[in-house]
Amino acid sequence: MSKELIRELERQERELVFTRFDNEDAWRLGSLLVSLAAGKPVAIDIRRGTQQLFHAALPGAVADNDRWIERKVRVVERFGASSYLVGRRLAAKGQKLDADLGVDPADYAAHGGAFPIRVGHVGVVAVVTVSGLPQAEDHALVVAALETFRSER
């Protein structure tokens, strides 16, 4: 199962690449996520580097969700892959995201929900994150939004 899951997560990252992504796109993607997450206690975040482009806390989300967002985003920024894919790859090797990999687990979380926004021939330009559900559901919500966003362009 874990090899199949890793292959599926890698496929998602190969396919969910965009020709551009700007502030207006961040607003549209964030608004789409709010619609898709209706009734779910999540926080949604889109950022480019240190600039937060979109943030929403839906009913039931708590301040701790923002801390999880920060930790998941750091994983994407450091490893260049979704936080879920990094976590599944580590688990498959029997490893953890800790000092052995040069990171403090208090600052990094290899749990699903943060996904790199890639622009072709450029690379990762932003990170979109959901926090508040079990990790596979956080990840699935982000992927569903990115797939819809891509098809609407």
Torsions phi, psi for 5 (to 5 deg) = -65, -45
CB atoms within 10 A of CB 72: 31
Instruction: List, in order of start, the domains of the chain with CATH numbers.
Output: 2-151 (3.30.450.150)
CB 97 within 8 A of CB 75: yes
Number of Cβ within a 10 Å radius of residue 27: 13
Secondary structure (3-state) at 10: helix
CA distances from 113 to 38, 48, 76, 135 (A): 16, 16, 10, 6
The CA–CA distances, whole Å, from 20 to 121, 126, 150 equal 10, 11, 11
pTM exceeds 0.75, yes or no:
yes
103-113 tens-digit pLDDT:
999 999 999 99
How many angstroms separate the CA atoms of 5 and 111, rounded?
14
Count the neighbouring beta carbons within 10 Å of the beta carbon of residue 91: 15
Backbone angles phi, psi at 22, to 5 degrees: -125, -175
Which of the 8 DSSP states describes residue 99? G
pLDDT for residue 128 is more than 60? yes
Q: Apex CA 112: angle with CA 47 and CA 147, to 5°?
A: 65
Per-residue pLDDT of 29-48, as tens digits, reads: 999 999 999 999 999 999 99
- pLDDT at position 152: 86
Confidence of residue 148 (pLDDT cuts 50, 70, 90): very high
- Could you count the other beta carbons within 10 Å of the beta carbon of residue 81? 21
Supply the mean pLDDT for the chain: 96
